[in-house]
Structure 1
């Protein structure tokens, strides 16, 4: 029996080792290798997802900071214009007081001239009227008449003297009022200078950020400026600008269509493989939406000197003209993008704002510009400064789909 068992064991071959893995365990090394190969791709995808999320958060923070800085510039420009308006009002009141004082002094001089020839005789008559008249060889009736005439002359002299005293009092009051208004003007002017200096510091920081624009944006702005600069007049300049903007919009639309075609041409399997290893796209950064055109504020602290469609040497006015103080700040009545910002022929430094809805607003006559082509701004942000000497004016023209229209629906002129 024992021999038979031994023979069977010999024929069956050597017994397997006790610690030998089962058949399923032999497949384990390839599975581990596959897992080890997938793990780095998964980790890279998670890293890319975290980086994209962080970039989106940074973009949102940058957009919020840009909005905060724009709000500060708007508030600063409003303070500057309020101070400039107060200074203008004080200057007007001071001038009115000066004129009133001059008129009072003129009245005083006139009354003095009228009263001066009568003073010696009136003084004598006032002291001893009866002896003078009785000494004259005249009938009693004529003496009585002379006394009546003297009384009337005295009453007239008293009236003139009273007017003289009132004129002197008015002149003194107007001189005092003039001095007070001059003091108020000096205070308002100092506040305007202080607010303007603060705004200049904010604009310097904005220009530093603006210098970091992409090369594509700078090239597009340069092309728009070149197209406008070649124009012979403002109407041609706006037409060239609209064509350039249409060309850029068409090119952008074509790029979007090409991207869609490339995306549609991808094989489903390739898209599936990319989705396995590529993180989902990060949410787009928050972008300030374009501000719709609507009623805005006066672009400069000044007064209307020529209205839209008013007659002139060159025909009806296509825009309006505002007179302002030297060095007055100019702000944007609407939000949108700066389509052009550069000198243009006899208009001086000029800004063209694309306010949306087919509207372009022209602000011309500035000595300094605080914006650049391609920049997005909000309503109320500063765009430039008028000349600091003489009697500067700001020209404002609104074009709607190429046609000059009355800017009053867009800008409140208060007149």
Structure 2
């Protein structure tokens, strides 16, 4: 009985705290998000506003894929943790199973016999009555851990199909979105761009400052006035893309460059959307900034988003809040890469960078005075 008590004491290891996120449940919820996005994609073509419907679909896919990556990362970590714990306790587990098997197969009268007579038998019975529930509890915990490992492995094995469908769906949605934006004719215009004047302005300027100050010169005629205002949202405007903050305004980056804007790390091919209703003042390549979009949400205020691969819309159009203005560059990771790395939880899968500059009365101001950056996507 001393040996039995020692087994019981050694096997009362801690059970994981309640309230922690269940990795398998998180991954299953992500799969459900991708399924809902797939349904939304089939309904988008019949929607009255195809651009809005497809934008929501792409954002749903992006959120679902991000959640799936995170769920698989946590599932892999949890499986490794459980496997290591079980291997470390192989000897204890074997002893536990042996004791439980002995208790279950030994007849009660034999179990109660003791060399020291009735008093020893009584003591033995009391010890068994105290130890057996603990042993049963540990056996149940062991069975639960083994079942969790099996569930996590099955989930990861089945994830390839879910990810394949999700990646295919979001690529299809991006293609349809490009077509829907090209076909859109219902947006109001404040001006019509003059391509010749735009080309002259681009060739005659060497800085973003110079280009921004000459934007009024690229129209064929007068630019219609507007009384649009977003001043009441100052400091609380959402970022235009899901990402993590890499550099704040005025910080020097790895290349030794200091800029007045902020830099976000995004996933490849992430959708960039207008954070407010705004006029597109320019979109296209400029200097060394790559493809960029310049939006004017209110007179005298410009939002500059650069580092895009594809840009949407036409200069002069007034676009609603949430309208796509471009896609980030890069290649979507292959299924094997996602399953093998499943991200490390530190944002290393945000391989693309979006530069955001805010200009007020033709001078750069801190973007964080307008945008909310406390929540990274």
TM-score bracket relative to the smaller structure = 0.5 to 0.7
Residues 297, 183 of structure 1: alpha-carbon distance in 2 compared, 3 angstrom cutoff: farther
Aligned to 1:267: none
Aligned to 1:278: none
Structure 1 length normalisation: TM-score? 0.53
Aligned to 2:215: 245
Aligned to 1:360: 302
- Structure 2 unmatched runs, 5+: 1-46, 116-123, 332-348
- Structure 1 unmatched runs, 5+: 1-68, 135-146, 231-236, 257-286
Structure 2 length normalisation: TM-score? 0.57
1:409 counterpart (362, 370, 377) = 370
Residues 180, 121 of structure 1: alpha-carbon distance in 2 compared, 3 angstrom cutoff: closer
Residues 93, 87 of structure 1: alpha-carbon distance in 2 compared, 3 angstrom cutoff: same
Query: How far apart in 2 are the matches of 1:81 and 1:155?
Result: 51
1:193 aligns with 2:171: yes
Aligned to 2:319: 378
Aligned partners of 1:363 and 1:394 also within 8 Å: yes
Query: How far apart in 1 are the matches of 2:48 and 2:101?
Result: 76
CA apart distance, 1:387: 1.6
Query: How far apart in 2 are the matches of 1:288 and 1:378?
Result: 15
Query: How far apart in 1 are the matches of 2:204 and 2:307?
Result: 20
Larger Rg computed on CA atoms: 1
RMSD: 4.9
Aligned to 2:248: 308
Q: Count how many residue pairs are aligned between Structure 1 and Structure 2.
A: 289
Aligned partners of 2:61 and 2:170 also within 8 Å: yes
1:400 counterpart (348, 360, 370) = 360
1:76 counterpart (54, 65, 68) = 54
Aligned partners of 2:249 and 2:366 also within 8 Å: no
- What per-residue deviation string (whole Å, max 9, x for no partner) do you get for residues 22-51 of structure 1? xxxxxxxxxxxxxxxxxxxxxxxxxxxxxx
Aligned partners of 1:322 and 1:394 also within 8 Å: yes
**Which has the larger helix fraction?**
1
CA apart distance, 1:168: 0.9
Aligned to 2:63: 85
Residues 90, 118 of structure 1: alpha-carbon distance in 2 compared, 3 angstrom cutoff: closer
Query: How far apart in 1 are the matches of 2:70 and 2:210?
Result: 43
Residues 411, 76 of structure 1: alpha-carbon distance in 2 compared, 3 angstrom cutoff: farther
Residues 155, 92 of structure 1: alpha-carbon distance in 2 compared, 3 angstrom cutoff: same
Query: How far apart in 2 are the matches of 1:317 and 1:168?
Result: 53
CA apart distance, 1:183: 5.7
1:221 counterpart (184, 189, 198) = 198
